[in-house]
């Protein structure tokens, strides 16, 4: 197979994911992991590290796409992956949002909401599982993931930064 240009590869991966990120950024985690494995862009561990950095930094978690682009093709890759991820969905959203309020309560609005909700939920749960398999490589890390899920379900208003920091500290203490 001919070697694909990395910048072109980023476009091919992120433009479709942008348009299919139904329900938000977390819904394409599985898709991103998929593409990275198929194109051998980086190791699973590198991917998990980038996922952690994107979640711990301010801004939406899908800045993961920016980091993947950077890892694959430097700053040009970061810029291109970001554009490929944010531009298509933004144009689509903009086109629909302008017509949204006028049609509030219309049948197509309701069908769209009800039809997309289970897709979004399924995708985000699938993404969680995919990252869990890639990232929870030993018992301590698995326990941290389980504990953080339980704590955040119990206290949804808790600042997630504390949970992330506690996860980092716990992993160092537990060793491995």
Partner 1 sequence: MAARVPLSAIIGAFAKIGLMSFGGALSGWMYREIVQRRQWLGEEDFLSGLALGQIMPGANVANLSLYIGQRLRGAAGAAAALAAMLLPPMVLVLVLAALYQSIEEIAWVHRAIGGVAAAAIGLTAMVGLRAARRVERRAVPLAVLALIFLTIGVLGWPMVPVVLVLTPLSIALAWRAPRGHDA
What residues between 9 and 48 interact with partner 1 by CB under 8 A?
A: 16-26, 28-31, 34, 38, 48
Q: Binding to partner 1 by residue 164, rule CB under 8 A?
A: yes
Cβ proximity to partner 1, 8 vs 172, nearer residue: 172
Q: Binding to partner 1 by residue 93, rule CB under 8 A?
A: yes
Cβ proximity to partner 1, 5 vs 161, nearer residue: 161
- Give helix 44-56 / helix 160-174 axis angle, nearest 10°: 140
Q: Binding to partner 1 by residue 136, rule CB under 8 A?
A: yes
Cβ atoms of 30 and 119 within 8 Å: the answer is no
Among 8, 43, 97, 106, binds partner 1 (CB under 8 A): 97
DSSP 42: S
How many residues of this chain interact with partner 1, rule: CB under 8 A?
109
**CA pair distance 69, 135, nearest whole angstrom:** 20
**How many CB atoms lie under 10 A from the CB of residue 17?**
23
Cβ proximity to partner 1, 11 vs 20, nearer residue: 20
- Give helix 29-39 / helix 64-100 axis angle, nearest 10°: 140
End-to-end CA distance of the chain: 39
**CA pair distance 2, 9, nearest whole angstrom:** 12
For 17, the token pair is 């994911």
List the x/- string, 51-70, binding to partner 1 by CB under 8 A. Answer: xxxxxxxxxxxxx--xx--x
Q: Binding to partner 1 by residue 8, rule CB under 8 A?
A: no
Report the nearest approach of partner 1 to the CB of residue 3 (Å). 21
Cβ atoms of 138 and 176 within 8 Å: the answer is yes
Q: Binding to partner 1 by residue 7, rule CB under 8 A?
A: no
Cβ proximity to partner 1, 5 vs 174, nearer residue: 174
Q: Binding to partner 1 by residue 92, rule CB under 8 A?
A: yes
Q: Binding to partner 1 by residue 113, rule CB under 8 A?
A: yes
């Amino acid at each position: 197979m001919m070697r694909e240009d990395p910048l072109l590869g980023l476009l091919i991966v992120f433009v479709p994911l942008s348009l299919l990120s139904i329900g938000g950024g977390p819904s394409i985690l599985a898709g991103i992991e998929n593409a990275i494995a198929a194109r051998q862009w980086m190791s699973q561990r590198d991917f998990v590290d980038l996922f952690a950095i994107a979640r711990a930094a301010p801004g939406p978690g899908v800045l993961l796409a920016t980091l993947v682009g950077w890892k694959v093709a430097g700053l040009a890759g970061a810029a291109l992956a970001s554009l490929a991820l944010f531009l298509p969905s933004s144009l689509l959203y903009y086109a629909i949002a302008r017509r949204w309020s006028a049609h509030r309560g219309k049948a197509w609005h309701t069908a769209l909401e009800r039809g997309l909700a289970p897709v979004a939920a399924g995708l985000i749960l699938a993404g969680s599982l995919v990252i869990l398999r890639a990232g929870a490589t030993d018992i301590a890390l698995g326990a941290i993931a389980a504990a953080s899920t339980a704590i955040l379900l119990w206290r949804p208003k808790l600042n997630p930064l504390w949970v992330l920091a506690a996860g980092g500290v716990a992993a160092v203490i537990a060793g491995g």
